[in-house]
Amino acid sequence: MCPETSETYDSFFTGGMLANFFIKLLTGFVNLITLGLTYPLMLCKYMDWETRHTWINGRQLIFTGKAANLYGKYLLWYFLSVITIGIYYIVKMRLNLVEWQTKNTHIKSNEFAESHFSGKWYQLLGVTIVHNLVITITLSFGMYWAHCYIERWYAKHTSVDGFRTIYGHGT
């Protein structure tokens, strides 16, 4: 609720399950047949779709990232992941991508403000290990809880244009 006007500003997502499913399916297929080389382009397309359907406090999000700005970094990270047999991906590449995504996510009409991600690689490694352990131990029955666990961690460390994000109220 806005204190000055007593108006309520809701946060919501307007994207549909089928659209999300087919976008992710197409993204996965294109990345598979190109061995991941189109990932920056497909990531930007997905992020644009996701932010256009996300409203926070009554204001729409936008994604300003461009694949051309990510390609050089991505190819370097991809190369480092290959030569370290995946260790760089586990430790740093995923975090680099989240930081880049966050930096390029803004509230519409506030594109020049600064968005920030404060999570550290060792924290991401820890929540990923817990995530995978829960899924393995519960034979995938805990998959949805584990997904929410990681999403809450991301939200806890994300600030969009100076506004901290939160993910739900439960544990």
Read off the pLDDT of residues 59-118 as tens digits, 9 standing for 90 and up. 999 999 999 999 999 999 989 999 999 999 988 999 999 999 999 999 998 878 899 999
Q: How confident is residue 168, by pLDDT bands cut at 50, 70 and 90?
A: low
pLDDT: is 96 or 168 the higher one?
A: 96
What is the rounded CA–CA span in Å between residue 118 and residue 166?
14
First to last CA, the chain: 24
**Mean per-residue pLDDT of the chain:** 90
User: What residues does each domain of the chain span?
Assistant: 12-164
Q: How confident is residue 8, by pLDDT bands cut at 50, 70 and 90?
A: low
Average pLDDT on 22-35 reads 94
What is the rounded CA–CA span in Å between residue 75 and residue 131?
27
- 78 with 36: CB under 8 angstroms? yes
- In sequence order, the 6+-apart residues with CB closer than 8 A to the CB of 60 are 51, 52, 54, 107, 108
Percent of the chain topping pLDDT 90? 78
Average pLDDT on 37-64 reads 93
- 38 with 31: CB under 8 angstroms? yes
Could you give the 3-state DSSP secondary structure of residue 17? helix
Read off the pLDDT of residues 138-160 as tens digits, 9 standing for 90 and up. 999 999 999 999 999 999 999 99
Name the β-bridge partners of 56. 59
* 163: pLDDT strictly greater than 90: no
Q: Which two tokens stand for residue 20?
A: 């999300």
Read off the pLDDT of residues 123-134 as tens digits, 9 standing for 90 and up. 999 999 999 999
* 33: pLDDT strictly greater than 50: yes
- pLDDT attached to residue 9: 72
- In sequence order, the 6+-apart residues with CB closer than 8 A to the CB of 161 are 106, 107, 110, 113, 114, 115
Classify burial at 135, counting beta carbons within 10 Å of its beta carbon; exposed 0-12, middle 13-18, buried 19 or more.
middle
H helix intervals, 34-137: 39-52, 67-83, 87-88, 94-103, 121-137
Q: How confident is residue 2, by pLDDT bands cut at 50, 70 and 90?
A: very low
- pLDDT attached to residue 169: 54
- pLDDT attached to residue 7: 57
